[in-house]
Structures are given as C-alpha cells and as structure tokens.
Structure 1
Amino acid sequence: MNNFLYKNTKVSYSDSGKGSAIVLLHGFLENATMWDSYMVSFTEKYRVVTIDLLGHGKSDCLGYVHTMEDQAQMVNAVLQHLKIRKSIFVGHSMGGYVALAFAELYSENTKGFVLLNSTTYTDDHERKINRNRAIKMAHKEYASLVQISIANLFSIDNRESFISEINQVKKEALKTPLQGYIAAQEGMKLRKNKEHLLHLTSYPKLLILGKKDGVLNYEDNIKQIEGTNVQLVSFPDGHMSHIENRDELKLVLLGFLELC
C-alpha cells in the first residue's frame, strides 16, 4: 500500500496492473484487504486501484463526520494524483454509497459502477435510529459491538461454515478506530437518495444483491432498478457476497468489466 496526503490526512491506496482503471471501494468496517483474493484475476487485464476510505484501514480520519461526498472527493484526489481520468467503480455496501457520490460529483470521470450489496436509497427513520443507538453503544462496548455487527452480515446458514472468514473480517474491522466508526455512521445517516443516477446515466451499471441480506431487504431494493438499464445479479446468501459467493462474484464482475 502507498500513502497519499489529502488535506493533511494520510490516505492509503494501492495501484496495480495496466489497462482500464477499476476502483475497488470497501464497505463500513472493512478496508482494502477485502479485495485481496480478487486482485490476481483483475490485474491480468485492468489497472486496479484500492483505497482505504477515510477512518478505515490505514487511512486516517479527516473529521468527526465523513459524508459520502467527503469520501468521494478524497477518492477523486487519489485518482488525480495517479493521473487516472475515467474509472469503473465497484463499491461494497458503504463503498457503493461512495461510488454513487463520486458518480454524481464527477460524472465525466465515471465509466460505470457496480453496487455490491449496496443501494441508492437513503436511510429510513428506523435505520437512522439504529445508527444513533450503535454510536452510543460504541462509546461503551466498541469491540463487542463490532464483532456482533460483523457476524450479522452473513446469512444465518453461513455463520458456521464461514467461521474462519468471519473471524478474519472481525479482526480487520477492529482496526477501524472509534472515531472512524462514528464518522462513517454519521456520514451514512446524511446521505441523499441517488436513485436518479440509475435512470439518467447511460454507462453500464450493475446491482448485486443477496436474497438473505440482513442489512438490505432484497424485495425492496430490486424496486430501485425498475424501468432502468441496470443489470441485476442475485445471490442466495447475505450481505457479504465477496466472501459468501466469491467464485461466482469474480465471474460476474469480470463479465461486467468487459462491457465497460
């Protein structure tokens, strides 16, 4: 990983391979290591950039609220530093929210995007209440909160068979400092609906959902692509398709990248 100074804040990123640029954006409590098992397949044909989002992994916090636009502006600064003009974005969960913010702010630099276990919808009232509750709990029992949160991202059927992977995700998640946790939660609460990007943009778009996702209701989220040219891929498991459906996801993503 390399370091880049953004607004006097250290940002960690990697830049591998040659070809069209692919930017991989991790989710909440994750970091760039979530893409490690995908890198060999992707860098054979593409230039792949991974970035630790603000307050995650080896990137420092910029403040006490990291909006999705804050994150997108940081991503843009990294890509400008690398002299990359147009990119395809793959964003997992919160990374998808960042990809959407980027697509809105920098449409001329967006070649396509994948929402992986992510959504254009804003938080509903109940979700915002849950985020506020989690922030309060994080001040008291951060480690326990993180570990429980990670386990719940996997479908119930997979929690035993993927125990080693779950433990590794927990280990990486606990590297997220409390400030990074809170800043991301506050930022996700503030995000606006981005459904219009699915309807008004002509570049390729892909939505990938898990039918047993405990974070995103499957039936509600397939509604956002009605009347659009967005491709839908559904997996039978939970919120962690990059682990629960790794081999199938690699093929899906490589197929999508060919379209871009």
Structure 2
Amino acid sequence: MQNSFTFKNAQISYSDQGKGTTVVLIHGFLENSKMWKKITPELIKRNRVITIDLLGHGKSDCLGYVHSMGLFAETIEGVLKHLRIRKYILVGHSLGGYISLAFAKMNPSKIKGLCLLNSTSNNDSEERKNLRKRANEMVQNNFEAMVKMSVSNLFHQDNLLKFKDEIEVVKNEALQTSVQGYIAANEGMKNRVNESQFLKECSFKKIIIIGEKDPILDYQTLLLEAKYTNSEFVVFPDGHMSHIENASELITVLKEFIKSC
C-alpha cells in the first residue's frame, strides 16, 4: 500500500513493508517504485523494505525544474526520519544509485550497505551532458516519442523481443512522469559530481552490479571503478535493466548482499 509524506510542500509517495533489516529501494530515471514489483515480495520475507517514488516520478510531486542529487537525497532522508528508521541498506538503480551516493555522503554512519545497480559513482562525460541538454529541449515537443525511445535504449538489443511485454509496461509507467519531472531529473544528473573517491573511502559494505552489455554504462569502465573503489562487483550478461533482464539472479545477489551487511 502506498503512503504519502509531505516534503517542502510536495507530496512524496512511499511504501513500507515487512520486518527485519531495513532495505531502501531507490528507482531510476523515468521509473517509479513499481519497478521493484518482482524484487520486493522476495525481500520482505526477511527484511523491512521501503520503496519511494522520487520527486517528479510516480505519484510524487516536483520541486522546481532542477532536482539535484542532494535534493532527491533530502527527500529520502525526510521519509526515513518520518518512519524513525536509523540504519539501512540502500539499493539504487541507475539514477537511484547517484542519489544513494549523495544520501550516503549526508548520512555515512546510518548506512549498513550500498548497492549500485546498473549505476556508477562517476559523473557525466561532456558528451553525456550534451545529450541530456538536447533531450530536455526535445522532450518539450516530443515527450511520448522521447520517453519510448529512452526506455527501449536501456535494454540490450537481443532482449527487445524477449521482453516485449515487460518493455511496454515500463514505457507506460515512464509516460506517467511529467515533462517537468523529466527535465528536473535530467538537469540534476547532468550537474552531479564524481563520487568515486567518497565511495572508495566508505567503510560500509558496497557492491556494484554491472550489465556486460549495458548500452548506457561502459562495462570495462565499471570494472575499473569497482576495483578502484574497493567494491564487490557482480556481472550479469545483459543490459541496463537487470531487474527485468536478470531478475532471478538479481534477487539472489541482493539477498546475499543484505545478509552480509
């Protein structure tokens, strides 16, 4: 069941299920807490699982036209303070990983473990920043086409037919994001800082889950990042959407990681 929390006059939607170690699941760009629908039922068997719709996504409101990683993190902090939860494991997919790092930097003593799922501690390259700038211009006139293309580009090409039905669901959920939410998140991602040094120095457990054929994040670069930051890493054979393309394997990895924290 979805609940609501007010943060700076914005309504933030979240769910709170299960008992045990608290695990906070943070979705990615153009996603919402429904992305965890295969993961949550497995994790709540032994854990308390919090899912949150990020600003401008799902049922949560926007706060202006720039949602920085810090602002996203403050929102999550507000929900967890509201629930009076003091220690937790963070699992962030893509954008959710960037936010997890910003949150961990604000609250290092409260983190038991951090999982970057198809995500990175590195900032955007100049090329990526230009792509985001162009996308924010195009989305104002061609929102539906841009969103559908963005979603398709997250999967490994060989999986487009295999996961055709799942991709349609992802597209429909993505279209629930407002134009303002799209632009604000993209601006925040474009301006985020490199957190690899912070991740390296963190004392809590950390893991990076990598898609070998991820069309968004370079496989070899992520391997080097995992080694540099002293992070455990797991490689799946597919793309950027491991919660769909490698769901059962992901559940196994997350259970083991949570148990080890």
Fold shared per TM-score above 0.5: yes
Tell me the TM-score normalized by structure 1.
0.99
1:5-154 pair list within 5 angstroms: 5-154=6-155
**In structure 1, what is the equivalent of residue 214 of structure 2?**
213
Distance 1:229 1:97 in 2: 17
CA deviation after TM superposition for structure 1 residue 229, in Å: 3.2
CA deviation after TM superposition for structure 1 residue 37, in Å: 1.2
Q: What are the superposed Cα offsets for residues 204-239 of structure 1, whole Å, 9 maximum, x if unpaired?
A: 101001011110011112111224431110011000
Distance 1:63 1:140 in 2: 19
CA contact (8 A) 1:115 1:208 kept: yes
Distance 1:227 1:69 in 2: 24
Distance 1:23 1:82 in 2: 12
Q: Which moved more, 1:136-145 or 1:216-225?
A: 216-225
Distance 2:57 2:87 in 1: 24
Secondary structure at 1:115 match in 2: strand
Distance 1:59 1:108 in 2: 28
**In structure 1, what is the equivalent of residue 251 of structure 2?**
250
* Corresponding letter in the other structure for 2:38: S
Secondary structure at 1:89 match in 2: strand
Q: What are the superposed Cα offsets for residues 63-109 of structure 1, whole Å, 9 maximum, x if unpaired?
A: 11000100001100000000001110000000000000001011121
Q: What are the superposed Cα offsets for residues 103-139 of structure 1, whole Å, 9 maximum, x if unpaired?
A: 1011121111100000000001000000011001101
Distance 1:91 1:30 in 2: 12
Secondary structure at 2:39 match in 1: helix
CA contact (8 A) 2:57 2:176 kept: yes
CA contact (8 A) 1:198 1:225 kept: no
Runs ≥4 residues deviating over 6 A: none
Q: Which moved more, 1:106-115 or 1:243-252?
A: 106-115
Distance 1:229 1:186 in 2: 29
CA contact (8 A) 1:29 1:56 kept: yes
**In structure 1, what is the equivalent of residue 190 of structure 2?**
189
Distance 2:97 2:227 in 1: 19
Q: What are the superposed Cα offsets for residues 172-225 of structure 1, whole Å, 9 maximum, x if unpaired?
A: 000000000000000001100000133111111010010111100111121112
Secondary structure at 2:65 match in 1: coil
Tell me the TM-score normalized by structure 2.
0.98
Distance 1:183 1:201 in 2: 29
CA root-mean-square deviation:
0.8
Distance 2:202 2:145 in 1: 42
Distance 2:110 2:256 in 1: 21
CA contact (8 A) 2:196 2:229 kept: no
For these two proteins, the number of residue pairs brought into alignment is: 260
In structure 1, list runs of 5 or more residues that go unmatched: none
Secondary structure at 2:115 match in 1: strand
CA contact (8 A) 1:117 1:216 kept: yes
